[in-house]
Structure 1
Amino acid sequence: MTAPFTADAWPIGVGLPQLVGTLSDGRDVTTTGPQAWRPTFHEVAAAGFTEIDLFTTFIRISDLDDDGRSGLQRLLAEYGLRISAIPLARRSILDPDPERAAANLEFALETVRAAGELGVGTVCVGLHQPLTAEQQRAEWFWLAPGEENPEDPAVWAAAVDGFRRIGEEAARAQVQVSLEMYEGTYLGTSESSVRLVTDIGLPNVGLCPDIGNIVRLHRPVEDWRVMLERMLPHANYWQLKNYLRDHDPATGAYFSAPAPLETGYIDYRTAVGMALAAGFSGPLCVEHYGGDGLSVAATNRDYLRRILAAKIAS
């Protein structure tokens, strides 16, 4: 099977959405600079990673001045790291508050410009909103309902227009934009995701088929194979995580919990084969919630490289 990278060279970044942007003393991680970044980069490199997906909830690259960007690049080089993607989490351009929605759109535009200037090829955006109070109280935030996009053609059109504007700005910066699958949004099903990216109609705007966000839900969900079959032809970046999932038809109860890629509900050996067959060539991102997420992510990275080696050689 032909592939754009060898198994050893395929960019596999670690995603650490659990990192927060405020230090224990209240200082902003972004503006504090390398002093605040070094411990994380040290541990990421010690776990064997050469790529990191730099979530804006940790460091906002668009808010760095020239000295801050130089300091970031020097520190990354010191640890042998590069940024494989910039995910924007919970900054929806469809926020019900018009001022926040406008600010989120501007933040996305500033981020793709900064990504281009730093040589980062992918920015991932979505429509999921900040966690509700109920989600923050839950054992796992996905067990409580979050904010949802309305069934309103005008709001759909606003999503298309906003993402198209981001995509056009990203094209000028030579950056790919990836739209993250997430429940309750216009990216909440495979069919709706494909329709949205098709309506946007830009070659540098694709999908992030993060099906882990869906299979963890305590309700009926699409079959993961069907989701991938529809979305992979449009995918340009992929966040991968897995969950245990069970359903008791006698009681109607569902169960889910985070699991390493190789032991969860989704068969990623099959999924990776499907991606290669669909011509997927984007960066991969390994994530894990709960426990030592970095160590599990490292295990996931090694597992993916073994699968890639077997699939590419076949």
Structure 2
Amino acid sequence: MSTPDTRPTSEQWPIAVAMLPFPASQDAPADTWVDHLAEVAFEGFTEVDLTDCWIRPGDLTPARIEELREALATVGLDPVALSAIRRSVIDPEMGDDNLAYSHRTIDAAAALGTKIVSFGLHRPLLPAQRQAFWFWTEEGPVDATDADTWALAVTRLRELGRHAAEVGVELSLEMYEDTLLGTAESSVRLVHDIGQDNVGLNPDLGNLVRLHRPIEDFQAAVEACLPVSNYWHVKSYFRDEDRAAGTYVAMPAPMEMGSVSYRKAIRTAVEAGFTGPFCVEHYGGDGLSVSARNARYIRRMLAVATGEARESVLRAAEAAR
């Protein structure tokens, strides 16, 4: 567990932004990468998550990886994390290919100086999801829950964890509905079954809060997940439920305005010893601006959770006497 001497201060704490707001740019010239990354830096970020819907570092040549390194250095961004999404290593059709891609992604992350790679077990969106206004309002693929599927997930994720450890990278497993990482209980159990110090959880509970169906209690999930977490995708939603009518609605919201309390969740995380980076995400509208707002909110909540806010208020009050 972290202590005040070992955890970052609220200002030092790494808070990255996902590259979700930007178009796929795998084959774009490096100057386009600089353009996108400069927008990120202009919003005040010093860390970035190289989300692979923007660029797939695992599919770049060594020369292009070097171009990406230079682009990041040009704008002063630290690629603290790389998130590989919808590349499940237990996908019934693409699992083998996704495993190979995941290994390439780990090597690319190491070459870029990235500290954490986040993998999940969610699969590509189905046609109905791609056509929906919000993709989470339609049902997506569902993982089998038999013993053989569980064993395959443990084996393959442990293999990736060992590879990551060899090159000095941490692995984080992203929570997502209807996968083996779809509940707090199964996610924590999967981390424990993998049993490697460099493999932790990415408790992206926003993926669950937005579902148009009953969900598990957010704060209880935070309490269960954060002790084994090493990275945290965060986002929020306005959520409304009419359980008698069976009606559930959710839409994106800034973290301080959504239907769950990140003030309480961040305090719980700090008390549990969490010291990993945050990654702010937002769907719809100007996602980058909302993400920047969320990052400022997180720093305030970290100051509250670590006691820095209290100390600052007391010093100011004392000086005013």
Task: Quote how far apart the aligned CAs of 1:74 are.
Answer: 1.7
Q: Which residue of 1 aligns with 2:316?
A: none
Residue number in structure 2 paired with 1:19: 22
Secondary structure (helix, strand or coil) at the match of 1:5 reads: coil
Map of 1:44 onto structure 2: 40
Of 58, 62, 71, the residue aligned with 1:62 is: 58
Aligned residue type for 1:303 = Y
Kept in 1, the 8 Å contact 2:22–2:36? The answer is: no
Q: Is the 8 A contact 1:53 1:85 kept in 2?
A: yes
Query: Residue in 2 aligned with 1:224?
Result: 218
Question: 2 CA distance for matches of 1:19 and 1:146?
Answer: 24
Q: Is the 8 A contact 1:33 1:71 kept in 2?
A: no
Distance 1:17 1:42 in 2: 15
Aligned length: 305
Give, as a single letter, the amino acid of the residue that structure 2 aligns with 1:14.
Answer: V
Question: Residue 13 of structure 2: SS of its match in structure 1?
Answer: coil
Instruction: Report the equivalent of 2:27.
Output: 31
Q: Which residue of 2 aligns with 1:186?
A: 180
Counterpart Cα distance in 2 of 1:236 and 1:172: 18
Question: Structure 1-normalised TM-score?
Answer: 0.94
Find the partner of 2:136 among 131, 136, 142.
Answer: 142
Aligned to 2:79: 83
Shift of 1:218: 0.9
Query: 1:88-99, aligned counterparts within 5 Å?
Result: 88-97=84-93
Q: Which moved more, 1:55-64 or 1:215-224?
A: 55-64
Q: Deviations over 1:69-102 (max 9, x none)?
A: 22212221221111110000101111121xx211
In structure 2, distance between residues paired with 1:107 and 1:33: 23
For the 8 Å contact 1:47–1:298, the answer to whether it is kept is: yes
Q: Aligned AA for 2:96?
A: A
Is the 1:14–1:53 contact (alpha carbons within 8 Å) kept by the matching residues of 2? yes
Paired residues for 1:161-180 under 5 Å: 161-180=155-174
2:252 aligns with one of 232, 244, 258: 258
SS at match of 2:117: strand
| SS of alignment partner, residue 90 of structure 1 | coil
RMSD: 1.3
**Alpha-carbon distance between aligned partners in 1 of 2:179 and 2:167, rounded to the nearest angstrom:** 27
Post-superposition offset of 1:64: 2.5
Give the counterpart letter for 1:41 in structure 2: L
Which of the residues 10, 13, 18 maps onto 1:10? 13
Alpha-carbon distance, 1:18 to partner: 4.3
The equivalent residue for 2:314 is none
TM-score of the pair, normalised by structure 2:
0.92
List runs of 5+ in structure 2 lacking aligned partners: 311-321
Match of 2:272 among 278, 295, 302: 278
Q: Could you list the per-position Cα deviations for residues 243-299 of structure 1 after superposition, in whole angstroms to 9, with x for gaps in the alignment?
A: 011111342211111000000011011100000000001110000001000000000
- In structure 2, relative to structure 1, the CA distance for the partners of 1:44 and 1:18 (3 Å cut) is closer
Q: What does residue 233 of structure 2 align with?
A: 239
Aligned pairs for 1:95-110 within 5 A? 95-97=91-93, 100-110=94-104
Percentage identity across paired residues of the two chains: 47
| Matches of 2:63 and 2:206, distance apart in 1 | 37
Q: Is this contact kept in 2: 1:31–1:64, CA < 8 A? A: no
Identify the match of residue 154 of structure 2 among 141, 157, 160: 160
SS in 2 for 1:266: coil
Match of 2:291 in 1: 297
Distance 2:173 2:226 in 1: 12
CA contact (8 A) 2:26 2:56 kept: yes
Partners of 2:145 and 2:180 within 8 A in 1: no
